Amino acid sequence: MKIGVLSLQGGFAEHMRQIESLGHEAIAIRNQCDLEDLSGIILPGGESTTIAKLLKVTGLMEPLKNKIKNGLPTFGTCAGMILLAKDIDGELSHLALMNIKIKRNAFGRQSASFRTFSTIKYIDKSIELVFIRAPYVEEVMGDVEILGKVEDKIVAVREGNIIATAFHPELTEDLSFMKYFIKLCTSFK
């Protein structure tokens, strides 16, 4: 299976390592032709405003948006979650594909980054969650399913073919969340 990882800025290498450790092919997505024949795509953490600008500069914004709208399984981590949100507290949206309202840097600055353990729906155990200048979901609308909360804040959601997390599962040794995403990719084939 070929899983794309948007590789314009941010923490894409860690996602690629996890995909490959599960025996799948990780494809670095840097231009429109890289979007062909994918089973899924990951929008990694990083700086969402910078990633959005690079999506426009590279001409990837609309083709990526169309692929996701047409059912490409998608996983957005932290900045990826912000890119996917239809409503970003006080800002313009980017891809605007998920019926969620996001609060950026909601858990605090870089110095307030933290790790915790929690259960996430569809994963059979408590997993380590890494938060770095993380957003959280202030509001879900429509058919968005809440997958997890930390400190009473929504930190993982799913809407159809799209999942998004405020935390970074790729920064742990635990492959449970990546396995969950791979399973989602196979269910949309």
Catalytic residues: 78, 168, 170
How far, CA to CA in Å, does 112 sit from each of 25, 63, 115?
A: 34, 36, 10
Q: Can you tell me the distance from the alpha carbon of 54 to that of 48, in angstroms, rounded to the nearest whole number?
A: 10
List, in sequence order, every residue forming a beta bridge with 148; answer none if it has no partner: 156
**Closest to 85 in 3D by CA, of 152, 11, 142, 13:** 142
Token pair, residue 55, equals: 């999506």
d(CA 73, CA 184): 7
Structure tokens at 170: 């790729």
Residue found by looking up tokens 């790790």 in the block: 115
d(CA 149, CA 147): 7
